[in-house]
Structures are given as C-alpha cells and as structure tokens.
Structure 1
Amino acid sequence: MNSLPDRHPSKFKMLRFSVLSLGLLGLAACGDTGPKWEAQDMFAAPTQQKLDDRYRAMIDFKAMARDDAGTEYAAGPSATVMGAVEDAVATCQQANAIGCKAVRVGLTWVDGLDQQAIESVMASYRDTMTAEAYQAAIQGNMGAANWLAYHYAVRGENLGEAERLSKQALQVAPDDPGALDTYGLILYRQGRYQQAEEVFIRVNKAMPTAEHIAHFADNALAMGKTEMARAAYQRALQAGASPVLSQTIQKRLLALDLGGGGSAAQPTQ
C-alpha cells in the first residue's frame, strides 16, 4: 500500500504524512477552545483565523478544472482525489466562470471525457483507496481503520462495521480529534444525536476546524437546535471552510432561512 489519504488529522502513523508534523493542534478558530468550551460558545465571535490550507493533508496528486475561457483552477493539497476534484470545480464556480468542468482527476487527465466517464474515473480511485484501506486495517493500521470508518460514515454505509473500526482506532488514540470526529459522524448517522453532540464537543475543544464545526452544526440541526446550528455553520465559514464545504453550508443556511432544517442530512465534508 503506497498511499492512504485521510480527511481527518490523526496521531496514527500514516503512510505518506502525519498531521502532527504540521504542528497545528494549537491553532484555534472557535474562540475559547480550552477545557471549559461548551456548545453555547458557538455564539461567540472567533478570535483567530484558522489556517485551513495548512491543516489539510499534503498528498502527491491534485485535481484541475477548466472553464469555457480556458482558465484553469487547480486544487490541492487535498485529503482525497475526489475532494480535490470537487474543490477545483467549486473554485471555478465561485469565480462565476462559465462551463466549469474537471479536466484532471488525480494523475489522470480527463479533458474531453463526458461526465459519466469522469465519474467512472473517480469511482475507480475511490474503490482503490477503499480496498487499500481495508487491507491495511486488517493488518493493524489504525489510520487506515479510521479512514475507512469515516468513508462509511459519510456515505451512511456499513455503519456497524464503521463503528467497529472507529472503536478499534479509538483504543489506540482515545483523545485524537480525527478519530473522535469519525465516531461522532457514525453516531450521527445512527440517529444517536445526544451521544454525537457530546463527542463533537470534545472534538471542538481539541481541534475546532471548519469541518469539525460543521459536523457539530449538522448534528445540532438534526436535534432541532436550529439557532445553534445556524451559529455553528457561520462559525465554520469564518474558520476557513473549503470551497465545497462553503457551498454546502450556504445551502444549509438558505434552507434554515426558508424555514427548513431540523432533520438529519448528508454530513458536510
């Protein structure tokens, strides 16, 4: 196994990188992030800007999008190939460009392919990473176990197996923010919102990144805590959300403004 990208920072030994080497555990974007941090602190203004680009994991491939005018929009570093593709297209769209489309997926140039063919390439990357993660997890790689558990949680698939893998990872690093966030997502997907809230509070005490804050907001929304969710989504935007995450949050905020919300949805990522 040569590479295993991870959306979550972790103390686990990874094959290509270690988030600990970035030295970002001290960065704060959520105001008071000390031991007394509570959910209500979401309503306070953040005191520092999170360096989100430095937080995101370094990997050796990128993605690229291009508009009809020929302007290219590169994405990377990013946690996964799929995430980089989404970031590249979203960056193009945020520039109000016309005809935004992916032209590079990881190491594969897809310029000229139709959308179905591009999605097939992305699915191939996803399947390869999932298979590699599964084999590595069997061999005791807890970073791989956490990645695979997160992969299942985001998609709402194999949640029983996801919980097993997540707990396996937490046995090695019980206080790791990335592993805890994965476990919180699984609880959220299972409808165990009160337990998930407690986990997400722990996560944000330790590492209040835009993604972690947004996960807290998703869970708050599912619990019917709409004002708490709104404040948390806004906090995530202020913490330097990626283009894709920013678009998702804006849609959630619009739904709240229109009187929607309150039910569990696909986790922001």
Structure 2
Amino acid sequence: MNTDHLRAFVLAVDEGTFDSAAALLLISGSAFSQRIKALEKEVGQVLLTRTIPVRPTESGEQLLRIARQTILLEDEARRSLGFRGSSPNYRPTITLAVAVNADSLSSWFIRVLQEAATWDDVEIHVHAEDQQHTDELLRNGTVAAAVTENPAPVSGCRVQPLGTIRYWPVASSELLDRHRGDRGLVDWERVPQIDFSIRDATQRNVLSRLGASPAVTHLLPSVQAYNAAVGYGLGWGMIPESMLPTGVLDGEHPDLVVISEIGAEDVPLHWQHWTTTTPALERLSDAVRRAATRYLNG
C-alpha cells in the first residue's frame, strides 16, 4: 500500500475532516480526496464515513492500526537513514499516541513526559481514558501503547505489569453525618457519589460491598475538580493515596475521613504496546517502566 495514502487515511481519522487533514499535508482538498479514494479502491472497501467528524467504517477500523504501524516504521526508517526530504533542515517527526488514565496522567506519568521533553523530533499524543477502557483505544488502533488495568494482552501487543495505585474511599464527615439514621449508621443509598465519568465504575464496584447503590451520582471529568469536590462535601469518592490531603490517613484531617466500611482498593496497572515496535516506542516504554518503578506501589 502507498504510505502517502495510509498517512492521509490516518490524518482524516485524527483530524475529523478532510480539509483539516489536507492542510496538515500541505495539499489541496481534492488531492487529499484522491488519496483516500485510491486507498479505498486498492482495498476494495469504503474505509471512511463522509461525515463530520470523519469516522472509520468497520473495514477502516481493521486497517487503522496497520496504517499507524506502517507510518511509524516508515518515519523511523527515514530518521535512521538521515532522510532530509526537500529541505536540508527536515527530519521526520515520530508521533507516539498513548492512552493514559487521568489519575496516572496527573501523578506519576508526568515524569514520563518530563523525560520525553529531552527527545528531539518526537510528538507525544496523549488520550485520557479510564484505566478500565484504555485497552479499547489500543485495540482499535487509536494508540500505539496504553496504561491499562487489563492484564490480558490485546492481540498484537505486549504487556508488562507496572505496579498498583491504591485508592481510598474518602468523604467529608459533615456529609456522612447528614445521612446517618437514628442508630448512627450511614444510609449509603442517600449519600451522593462522585464519578470521574459515566464509564468510571470504581465507586460503584466498591460500594457494592455494602449492597448499596447511590441515588445521586455527580460526574466530574477533572482530577483536580474531583478531589476538591470530595473535600467540599459534594459526594464521596475514591482518591489515590498520593493525592490525599495531609492527615486523612492518620485521622487528623479537620473534616475528611476514610470510609472504613469500604476500605482501600488497589488497582493494578499494566503497560501494553504494539509488538511491532520501534526505537522511539521502546524509548517511551523504558521511560514508563522507570517512572512506574519509582512512583507506583510494587
């Protein structure tokens, strides 16, 4: 397959429109459309929906990961051979798309990005997703690697354990006191819960230990806002140990308390990446392993 056609296909998916993708390639919209049509004619399948945003068809999803791998390998080959293109200062940029859960991105994964700041000609494209679902982005070809809760390797990928994040169920004591019955027991059906997103099942899973289901669930897709909202008493939530305010675990915080009825939850994390690897992807994997060894629980 023509790699120029594959590159156009990937950019159409990433950018969402043919015009935006064509602008990145510095070609006209009609020339871009011809590349997509040529690729679809070659494979005998419609690969993209002509909608806004552009989306891969079922056949397109099957091709997407192969297309990304091919482009990555070509860019690495051009770089290693010192290919300069039409400009003496040109060197191909290596793009590494990774999926990372928000809590990791706000804590230990920052050290990975700190190390990547010293790399020349490498772009890191991070997709934030819950750790229970990051492997989906790996499976459909959106990313080349992912921090995931799933220990089972996605087809065509390698997997390595990284360590665990310990989450503690935390709430404002004032919030809990407002929902205590006559015998002093908390009515967990009435205590509001905070989820990071609609796909975040962490709180629901641990609350099931008490045989309860919350009547009110707030959604806050920001780590900082989530932790602050728990502190303000909007609802209870699971907070990583490294992000807990001082004094919470010791029982010395003026308001926040650990919910002893639920207890801590250790969430294992794994690093999965394509089996077909490149020097840039290996370098990223090494940085991830170093950061995880230093900052995650063993």
TM-score bin, normalised by smaller chain? under 0.3
Larger helix share, 1 or 2: 1
Larger strand share, 1 or 2: 2
Give the number of the structure whose alpha-carbon radius of gyration is greater: 2
Normalising by structure 1, we get a TM-score of 0.27
